[in-house]
Structure 1
Amino acid sequence: MFSANTYARRREQLMHQVGRGLILLMGNEYSPKNYLDNTFPFRQDSNFLYYIGLDHAHLAAILDTETGETVLFGDELTIEDIVWMGPQDSLKDQAQNVGIREVQDYDLLVEVLRAANKQNRAIHFLPPYRSENKINLAYWLHLPLLDIHKEASPTLIKAIVAQRSVKTAEEIAEMEKALVTTKAMYLAAMKQTKPGVKEAQLAGIAEGIAVAGGGDLAYPIILTINGQVLHNHHHHNILKSGQLVLADMGAESSMHYAADITRTWPVDATFTQRQKEIYQIVLDAQLAGIAASRPGVRNLDVHFAAAKVITNGLKSLGLLIGDTDEIIQAGAHALFFPHGLGHMIGLDVHDMEDLGESYVGYTEGLERSTQFGLKSLRMARELQPGFVMTIEPGIYFIPQLIDMWQAEGRFSQFINYPALQAYRDFSGVRIEDDVLVTPDEPRVLGPGIPKEIGEIEALRS
């Protein structure tokens, strides 16, 4: 964990921004997988980690904006707990390590909340995503369970988004630790790639390295020869000569800061000429997106900068026809690039997505598009120093989507459907890095993972 002063400053700033009432921060509980004692791996709530720093189950905290005090609610270990889990620091000692002086039993939390309700004090809480926390909130605050998310505090959400969006030097250091592990994952997977190997073997090697690095995976691994399926978590295929491997994976540091990297490489030692052509277009688009990631620039415009490179590249291959700006404005390029350029990353791989993308990635006057492809852009607002963004353009050839658009005659003035027939079995290419927005040049975080064609071929051979 960070120092007690770090967590105390974060809480003080949050209370100042919220201004009045109580702030309720709920930690997570263990979630049963198939019976009560066989649980999914525990992952603490990221907002709780950010402000409280304690990484175990059955905790909550109340921040009183009027007194400036924080109270931690939890239970001390019993001898039964110690028999099964071993000795641990007392809850009071843990609280002191994060700058909290007062600790109360977890069961007293409901009394504090109900007393505040009677006094008509505002109780600010975040939209819960875990069933256990939804049920508790509904019970404690006498709110309808199915509508609990509607009662979440916009004031609190906005204050947290403003604070967590700007990463400090110590947060960047944690993310770079995760990226060191992620590089090891990629180097191992790339080196072990060859015809006859199962996707699952490569995914298993990478996951083992993530765990051995002292943390875990930041999200389930995507490692597939079917890169045209954007979120493909199946690993049952056997690699064959002539195919591409697309992997999207990242480690999480021991303090739960995430890395998110995508690379694409050939099953063979070298790319084919056609693979090189598509790959280089994606790489050029990614470099353009990185270069455009500067303070005051809307991420929407960074997305368009990458889309322009992709469109021009596909025009050079004869797959798109016409004026580049008209193609992009119409959304015809989204046949090949059907997702957004990237998203914030930090304690969450999609940072603060639980708080709502409308708060994290959009602002008043900047509404989310309904256009295919562009509607999947998670982050559109102006960039600021301290933001960490993923830059992850891609080109995909999705046979089902091609067939549907062609049957409908969609964008036939821009898309060369006959020429696309030769690419139906191509799959896809995506390249992704994590980029820090600075007052000057954008900075690609981490030790550098091979992505130039020459680098990948040298490693593969």
Structure 2
Amino acid sequence: MFKKEIYINRRNYLLSNFSSGKILLLGNIENPINFEHNTYPFRQDSSFLYYVGIKSPRLAAILDIDSGETILFGDEMSIDDIVWMGQQQTLSEKSDLSGISKLLPFKELFNYLNKKPQDTIHYLPPYQSHNKLLLAKLTGLPVDLLQPSTTLIQAVVAQRSIKSEEEIIELEKAVDVAVDMHRLAIQMTKPGRYEYQISNAMQHFAQDQEMSFSYPPIVTKRGEILHNHMQFHQLHDGDILLNDSGVETSMGYASDLTRTFPVGKRFTSLQEEIYQIVLHAFKSAESLLTSGIHFKEIHLKACEALVDGLIQTGFMKGNAQDAVMNHAHALFFQCGLGHMLGLDVHDMEDLGEQYVGYTETEPKDTKTFGIKSLRLGKKLEPGNVLTVEPGIYIIPELTQLWEQQNLHRDFINYDFLKTHLDFGGIRIEDNYLIENNGYRRLGKYLEREIQEIYQLKDNPID
């Protein structure tokens, strides 16, 4: 945990946005895999972590707006708990570390809220089934009629979007370990190995650094499948491997890096060409990062850079700006350029992309293919932390569908494209802090130039 003053100040700042009522923050529970006592690894709710910092399951906190008091609801370990798990730090001790002096049993949560039933209860959108049912019981509303507080969502997003110095330190720790993890993956990848062997080695490395994956890693030679979690393929000379993976610190802060590299010693000539196109788009987007610019504008500039390169290699034709304006580029780049990063790898996505990545006056486009997958579009501010991750993906099924629908023939060279449907996908991704005049790339540098990757490949690790 951070120093208790940090949590106290965070809660006080949140309270300053309200005039009356109560703010209810729910922690997560341990969810069963196949029976009650065999659970998935526990991960605390990120907003609860941000304001309270305690990682134990089955907790709730109320921030009383009228009194300014914070009450933690939870239960100390029973003797049965101690028999099975041993004596651990008490909840009272954890509460003190969070700067919370009032601790009540979890069952008292119902009585506390019923003392003043006329009070407005502000709560965030629940995503665990347990908390949906709990909120239904607490509010008397059916699950499908729960009404999370827009005011609370907006206040939390505004506060958590600006990373403090101590948060940046944690994020850079996560990036540094992920950089070494990615280097390991590049150096150990060779023909004959399997994707899962690369993934397993990275997990072992992260755990040796007292960290865990921040999301299920994407380690695949089928990089055209954007979130490909299948890792059973054997690797062969001529394949390229896409590795999208990051780690999470003990405090919950995430990194999210991607590199694409040859399985053998070198890319093929076409792989080199496409890689250079993606790298150029990546650098073009990186150079535009600064406070005051809309991330959607950076996304569109990166798309133009991708199209310029695809025109030069024969996959596309026409004018790059016109192609992007008509969304023809989305055949090759179906997703967004990046997203916010912090306590979640897609930071605060549980609160809603419209609130996190957009504004009321500039709402998210939820219909246009390609743009609808852009998680972040709003104007950047100092203290924002985000990813930049352009890519080119050749998806046979999507290509066939577009050709059948006769889409964008003025921009897409289908005859040439159909000779390279087995290409796969290439993505490059780093993590950035937005500053007043520019940006800072977080953590250690991870090789991204072709010759730098070749140098790593020339120094393999068995």
**TM norm structure 1:** 0.98
Deviations along 1:179-224, whole A, 9 cap, x unmatched?
1211121111111111110001001111111222212110001000
Partner Cα separation in structure 1 for residue 18 and residue 412 of structure 2: 51
1:251-330 correspondence runs (5 A): 251-330=247-326
Instruction: Tell me the equivalent position of 2:43.
Output: 43
For the 8 Å contact 1:271–1:457, the answer to whether it is kept is: no
Deviations along 1:65-107, whole A, 9 cap, x unmatched?
1111100011111222112112122222211111111101111
1:435-454 correspondence runs (5 A): 435-454=432-451
For the 8 Å contact 1:391–1:432, the answer to whether it is kept is: yes
Deviations along 1:269-303, whole A, 9 cap, x unmatched?
11111111100110111111111111110010010
Deviation at 1:122, TM superposition (A): 0.6
2:193 counterpart of 1:197: yes
2:448 counterpart of 1:455: no
1:405-444 correspondence runs (5 A): 405-444=402-441
For the 8 Å contact 1:76–1:90, the answer to whether it is kept is: yes
Partner Cα separation in structure 2 for residue 30 and residue 90 of structure 1: 18
SS in 1 for 2:34: strand
Instruction: Tell me the equivalent position of 2:10.
Output: 10
Partner Cα separation in structure 2 for residue 218 and residue 363 of structure 1: 27
Deviations along 1:366-398, whole A, 9 cap, x unmatched?
122221111100010000000011000000111
Instruction: Tell me the equivalent position of 1:390.
Output: 387
Partner Cα separation in structure 2 for residue 168 and residue 174 of structure 1: 10
RMSD: 0.9
Partner Cα separation in structure 2 for residue 167 and residue 116 of structure 1: 35
SS in 2 for 1:68: coil
- Name the amino acid aligned to 2:56: H
SS in 2 for 1:200: helix
SS in 2 for 1:18: coil
Partner Cα separation in structure 2 for residue 245 and residue 147 of structure 1: 45
Partner Cα separation in structure 1 for residue 363 and residue 9 of structure 2: 33
- Name the amino acid aligned to 1:453: I
- Name the amino acid aligned to 2:135: L
**TM norm structure 2:** 0.98
Deviations along 1:233-281, whole A, 9 cap, x unmatched?
0001000110100011000011110000010000111111111110011
1:12-411 correspondence runs (5 A): 12-117=12-117, 120-148=118-146, 151-369=147-365, 370-411=367-408
Partner Cα separation in structure 1 for residue 243 and residue 294 of structure 2: 28
Partner Cα separation in structure 2 for residue 114 and residue 449 of structure 1: 54
Deviation at 1:159, TM superposition (A): 0.2
Partner Cα separation in structure 1 for residue 266 and residue 9 of structure 2: 52
Deviation at 1:305, TM superposition (A): 1.4
Deviation at 1:448, TM superposition (A): 1.2
SS in 2 for 1:326: helix
Partner Cα separation in structure 1 for residue 136 and residue 191 of structure 2: 54
For the 8 Å contact 1:241–1:268, the answer to whether it is kept is: yes
For the 8 Å contact 1:299–1:380, the answer to whether it is kept is: yes
Partner Cα separation in structure 2 for residue 59 and residue 140 of structure 1: 14
For the 8 Å contact 2:70–2:102, the answer to whether it is kept is: yes
- Name the amino acid aligned to 1:65: I
Partner Cα separation in structure 2 for residue 203 and residue 95 of structure 1: 37
Partner Cα separation in structure 2 for residue 284 and residue 19 of structure 1: 50
User: May I ask how many residue pairs the two structures share in their alignment?
Assistant: 457
- Name the amino acid aligned to 1:80: D
For the 8 Å contact 2:291–2:438, the answer to whether it is kept is: no
SS in 1 for 2:431: strand
For the 8 Å contact 1:215–1:256, the answer to whether it is kept is: no
- Name the amino acid aligned to 1:138: A
- Name the amino acid aligned to 2:423: F
- Name the amino acid aligned to 2:83: V
- Name the amino acid aligned to 2:410: Q
Deviation at 1:422, TM superposition (A): 2.6
Partner Cα separation in structure 1 for residue 18 and residue 281 of structure 2: 40
Partner Cα separation in structure 2 for residue 213 and residue 178 of structure 1: 10
SS in 1 for 2:243: strand
